[in-house]
Amino acid sequence: MRLLKIFFGILFVIFAYFQLNDPDSGVWIAIYSFAALGCFMSIRGLWPSWVFYVLAAGYLIGAVFQWPREFEGIFFGETAMRSLNIELARESLGLGICALVMAVIGKWG
């Protein structure tokens, strides 16, 4: 479990770095940085499990509200940004990953 926490902590730091060119980068850097912080804090057991459940609920609610009205995929490559719906789906997916990781850490962390 420790390696999983380290892996996702580093992954969330990388996700935060990739947000630097985003128009609303401050929001997304904070979102992913807080998820990374949660992963790293859980390695030492510094936060109780309820904190991770609250984070998971917040990320899940964000993922639901961020979901586009019309799903067009999460394409990568040349057709990367055909519409805002693709960007919203990617953001929702990122929040969903954060929610899943926080829930797993809360349960088994």
In tens digits, what is the pLDDT along the chain, a chain of 109 residues?
999 999 999 999 999 999 999 889 999 999 999 999 999 999 999 999 999 999 999 999 999 999 999 888 877 665 566 788 888 999 999 999 999 999 999 999 7
Which residues, including other chains, have CB under 8 Å from residue 94's CB and lie 6 or more apart? 15, 28, 31, 32
How far apart are alpha carbons 70 and 14 in whole angstroms?
Answer: 28
Domain spans, the chain: 2-108
Q: 90 and 74 in contact (C-beta within 8 Å)?
A: yes
pTM value is: 0.91
- Long-range contacts of 88-92, Cβ-Cβ distance < 8 Å, separation of 24 or more: 91/28, 91/66, 92/63, 92/64, 92/66, 92/67, 92/68
